[in-house]
Amino acid sequence: MSVSLSCHRCETRYDDDTRVRCDCGEPLWIDAETTSFAWDDCGNRSGMWRYEAALPIDRPDGVARAAGGTPLVRSPGLDDVAGGRVFIKDEGENPTGSYKDRGSAVAVPRTIAAGDDVVGTVSYGNMAISTAAHATSLDRECIVFVPEDISPVRLELIAQYEPTVVRVGGEYGALYEDALELSDRLPITALVSDDPARISGYKTALFEICESFAPETPDVIALPASSGGFASGVWLGIRELERAGLIDEPPRLCLVQTAASDPITRAFEDGSTDPTPMSSDETGETIARSIGNPDPPSGARALSAVRDTDGAVVSVTDDEIRAAQRRFAVEGGFCVEPASATTLAGVSRLADRGEISAAESIVLVPTGTGFKELGTGETDVATETVHRTDLADRLESLLPPRGE
């Protein structure tokens, strides 16, 4: 595939494939020629590499080959809460437990092919874990910038891949721009949330969903949104499939934010095209640690995605997130992280407002596994200890009678 970049807002094209931003300030994405793209022509390669023809690199070696190809399953136990027919696209089944692997699988090998730069990232969550894993699997050094007060659990998850970890003091939020500048001055390529190659990788999640539904299209797709990178990739996928004639009516994109930091929701409600960055006085703590970017670099693009598909943006509170996370487990059997549980809480709000109807198909995308968040030693489950000699008698009273 020949690579050119373009801007979603002003449609300017650039042939310089190292650019990441348009002159108008918006992040760029990579255009794929999909007019002749057809499901039957996709090969039988594993995971996201089934769509290699629409990606800007050839299938690489390493852990990238394990990215994507996640299951889409019907989960009727969640229908009542969600207000429609629920399908789960479980992105927690990627090699490092989140959809970020789809982006790293394209962006890391592409950086490596371009030269001998160290791969860098600014994250202390799934982005860092994924980037470090993909870099080391191709034998390339990775440098991860984390906040100085990172929790030991998070540090351990990142450190298992042995990247160079730099704790940074000062305002961590400002590091996003600093990282792009570091890339200009030092032999580091920083793969931040809106890197164009990452966005290309993310579109494969949408391709997989639509191929599973073909020739139908799901009515609603619900994703959590923070930087807006994943939403951008999903929208890119929708646009490419529309151009290829593979979908007519696009699914409505529903983005969900944490009420603790929700600049995209605010802009959606105001009718603005650009989110207004939120100051630290306006934002709060949330259990949904993977989301809550107060100044989302792909925020304007995410808003366009929602408006273009006639979707919505909603915010949910930590209490709603906790309840939804529990439903995912108890009703669906899925262990999802709080950021991902927002999807269920969000569609439930939309259904209450009458924006989703019972006959509609809803794809919830739990973006990350909940297993990384466990291990705190806390649980609410009531247990009792029974001596082994009394086990049979005691179980008789605990279990439901046979035949029920």
Ligand X SMILES: *Cc1c(COP(=O)(O)O)cnc(C)c1O
149 to 188, contacts with ligand X by CB under 6 A? none
Of the candidate residues 34, 75, 126, 136, the single one contacting ligand X (CB under 6 A):
126
**Interface with ligand X, residue 227, by CB under 6 A:** yes
- Residue among 109 and 228 whose Cβ is closer to ligand X: 228
Choose one: 7-15, 187-195, 288-296, 301-309; the region binding Zn ion (CB under 5 A): 7-15
With a CB cutoff of 8 Å and minimum separation 6, the contacts of 364 are 75, 78, 82, 86, 87, 88, 89, 222, 343, 344, 347
**Interface with ligand X, residue 100, by CB under 6 A:** yes
Q: In 3D, which of 273, 312, 199 has the Cα closest to residue 9?
A: 273
Distance CA(264)–CA(225), nearest Å, equals 8
**Interface with ligand X, residue 230, by CB under 6 A:** yes
Choose one: 4-12, 94-102, 334-342, 383-391; the region binding Zn ion (CB under 5 A): 4-12
Q: How far is the CB of 279 from Zn ion (least distance, A)?
A: 27
Choose one: 27-35, 206-214, 227-235, 319-327; the region binding ligand X (CB under 6 A): 227-235
SS3 109: helix
| Binds 196: which of ligand X, Zn ion, none (CB < 5-8 Å by kind) | none
**Interface with ligand X, residue 37, by CB under 6 A:** no
Choose one: 48-56, 333-341, 384-392, 393-401; the region binding ligand X (CB under 6 A): 333-341
**Interface with ligand X, residue 337, by CB under 6 A:** yes
**Interface with ligand X, residue 315, by CB under 6 A:** no
Would you list the DSSP string of 140-182? --EEEEEETT--HHHHHHHHTT-PEEEEE-S-GGGHHHHHHHH
Choose one: 141-149, 222-230, 241-249, 344-352; the region binding ligand X (CB under 6 A): 222-230
Q: How far is the CB of 107 from ligand X (least distance, A)?
A: 13
Q: Please say whether the beta carbons of 356 and 84 come within 8 A.
A: yes
- Residue among 229 and 346 whose Cβ is closer to ligand X: 229
**Interface with Zn ion, residue 253, by CB under 5 A:** no
Write down how long the chain is: 404
Of the candidate residues 18, 19, 24, 177, the single one contacting Zn ion (CB under 5 A):
24
Q: In 3D, which of 395, 381, 357 has the Cα closest to residue 82?
A: 357
Choose one: 109-117, 152-160, 241-249, 337-345; the region binding ligand X (CB under 6 A): 337-345
DSSP tally for the chain: helices H, then strands E: 12, 13
**Interface with ligand X, residue 234, by CB under 6 A:** no
Q: Please say whether the beta carbons of 255 and 236 come within 8 A.
A: no
- Residue 357, both tokens: 């109807």
**Interface with Zn ion, residue 28, by CB under 5 A:** no
From residue 331, alpha-carbon distances to 31, 80, 300 in Å are: 40, 10, 35
Question: Could you give the angle at which helices 299-308 and 263-270 cross, rounded to 10 degrees?
Answer: 50
Q: Please say whether the beta carbons of 346 and 256 come within 8 A.
A: yes
What one-character DSSP code corresponds to residue 66? Answer: G
Distance CA(336)–CA(70), nearest Å, equals 14
Q: In 3D, which of 203, 48, 67 has the Cα closest to residue 137?
A: 67
Distance CA(118)–CA(105), nearest Å, equals 16
**Interface with ligand X, residue 294, by CB under 6 A:** no
| Binds 321: which of ligand X, Zn ion, none (CB < 5-8 Å by kind) | none
Q: Please say whether the beta carbons of 301 and 26 come within 8 A.
A: yes
Position 242, amino acid:
E
- Residue among 217 and 367 whose Cβ is closer to ligand X: 367
Q: Are strands 28-31 and 4-7 parallel, antiparallel or unpaired?
A: antiparallel
Choose one: 3-11, 242-250, 326-334, 361-369; the region binding Zn ion (CB under 5 A): 3-11
Of the candidate residues 5, 20, 22, 256, the single one contacting Zn ion (CB under 5 A):
22
Distance CA(224)–CA(343), nearest Å, equals 6
Q: How far is the CB of 172 from ligand X (least distance, A)?
A: 15
Of the candidate residues 28, 108, 236, 291, the single one contacting ligand X (CB under 6 A):
291
Positions that interact with ligand X (CB under 6 A): 98, 100, 125-126, 193, 224-231, 290-291, 337, 339-340, 367-368
Residues near Zn ion (CB under 5 A) are: 7, 9-10, 12, 22, 24, 26
